[in-house]
């Protein structure tokens, strides 16, 4: 197990390193550069040259990256050009809010998707199963921004049940104090997750329904509800549990969009605002956090699979 863990951790570190290189090069290759974005269109060439010199942008990209990596290893993510604050402080303020949004969205999705997937499997190839399957495919294929816009139009304008803007408090306590304003952002994040998790749960439940232990339980006279709830449902949760790790980056990606649309003060909105002014340190910091979350999510999923199934551990060690 320790060898497997070290192997996957080493891969995770390499992936994060490669992501930082690619994103750093792409951001610094954009036309105009940060000097034009920060100083404005009226800045003179002398002012832009002075800005690039002070920020080190006049040096070759490899040298700039090495300086950035050196600071990164010391926990220094740089300073935001537009907000006049450190990127680390910005992420410290915004990350808990994004984690709250993604955690609530995931919990809501699992609560709905697990029984829905089991119900579909039990009623497979019936009209209800076909209807739910069509709806889940539709939800899964719909972009997050479009779902958010539909939610605003339906539940904030046509049916004025919930605010169209997310809570604007600076603390988690303040955000939780406005549950009605959280409904639409959570709904947007949960719909796609429900579509994905319910499909996995349906497939896993169908596989377990064909197992010998189900036939044995039925032959012993066990009630069908007990067979499904106590045996099949519990054993079918394994792929959904491991899928949670792989779905973490998807939730973060969806949060970037929904936060911008609902003006939710998380990392997604910070990334959007930074992109408008080419605030490179903030963009790099947010991308680094998302990349780390992606890698950690994949690592968590692999570890859960290894703990549940020793064959995975033996095959990948």
Query: Domain segments of the chain: what residues?
Result: 2-73, 87-316
Residue 156 CB partners (closer than 8 Å, separation 6+)? 162, 163, 164, 184
Whether residue 90 contacts residue 270, with contact meaning beta carbons closer than 8 Å, is answered with yes
Residue 211 is classified by DSSP as S
pTM of the predicted structure, to 2 decimals: 0.73
Residue 170 phi/psi, 5-degree rounding, is -85, -15
Q: pLDDT for 206-229, tens place per residue?
A: 877 777 777 777 777 777 777 776
Average pLDDT over the chain, rounded to whole? Answer: 77
Give mean pLDDT, residues 83-96.
Answer: 83
The sign one gets for the Cα dihedral 51, 53, 59, 65 is negative
Q: pLDDT for 104-122, tens place per residue?
A: 888 888 888 888 888 888 7
The sign one gets for the Cα dihedral 112, 117, 119, 123 is positive
pLDDT at 316 exceeding the cut of 50? no
What is the model's pLDDT at position 94? 85
What is the model's pLDDT at position 317? 44
pLDDT confidence bin for 308, thresholds 50/70/90: low
Give mean pLDDT, residues 245-274.
Answer: 77
Residue 81 phi/psi, 5-degree rounding, is -70, -40
**CATH of region 87-316, choose from 2.102.10.10, 3.20.20.60, 2.30.110.10, 1.10.3720.10:** 1.10.3720.10
Q: pLDDT for 26-76, tens place per residue?
A: 767 666 666 766 676 777 777 778 877 877 777 777 888 888 788 777 777
């Amino acid at each position: 197990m320790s060898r497997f863990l070290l192997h996957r951790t080493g891969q995770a570190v390499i992936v994060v390193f490669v992501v930082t290189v690619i994103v750093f090069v792409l951001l610094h290759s954009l036309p105009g550069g940060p000097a034009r974005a920060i100083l404005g269109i009226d800045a003179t060439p002398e002012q832009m040259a002075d800005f690039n010199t002070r920020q080190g942008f006049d040096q070759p990209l490899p040298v700039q990256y090495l300086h950035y990596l050196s600071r990164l290893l010391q926990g220094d993510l740089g300073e935001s050009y537009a907000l006049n604050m450190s990127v680390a402080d910005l992420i410290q303020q915004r990350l808990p809010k994004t984690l709250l949004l993604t955690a609530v969205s995931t919990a809501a999705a699992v609560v709905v998707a697990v029984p829905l997937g089991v119900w579909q499997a039990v009623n497979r190839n019936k009209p209800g199963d076909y209807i739910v399957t069509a709806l889940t495919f539709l939800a899964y294929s719909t972009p997050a921004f479009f779902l958010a816009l539909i939610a605003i139009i339906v539940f904030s304008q046509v049916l004025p049940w919930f605010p169209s803007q997310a809570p604007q408090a600076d603390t988690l306590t303040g955000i939780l104090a406005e549950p009605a304003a959280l409904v639409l952002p959570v709904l947007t994040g949960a719909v796609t997750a429900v579509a994905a998790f319910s499909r996995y749960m349906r497939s896993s439940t169908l596989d377990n329904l064909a197992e010998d232990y189900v036939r044995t339980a039925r032959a012993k006279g066990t009630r069908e509800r007990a067979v499904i709830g106590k045996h099949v449902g519990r054993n079918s949760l394994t792929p959904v549990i491991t899928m949670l790790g792989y779905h973490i980056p998807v939730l973060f990606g969806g949060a970037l969009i929904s936060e911008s649309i609902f003006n939710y003060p998380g990392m997604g909105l910070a990334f959007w605002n930074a992109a408008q002014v080419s605030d490179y340190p903030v963009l790099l910091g947010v991308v680094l956090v998302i990349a780390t979350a992606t890698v950690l999510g994949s690592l968590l999923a692999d570890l859960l699979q290894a703990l549940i199934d020793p064959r995975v551990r033996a095959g990948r060690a």
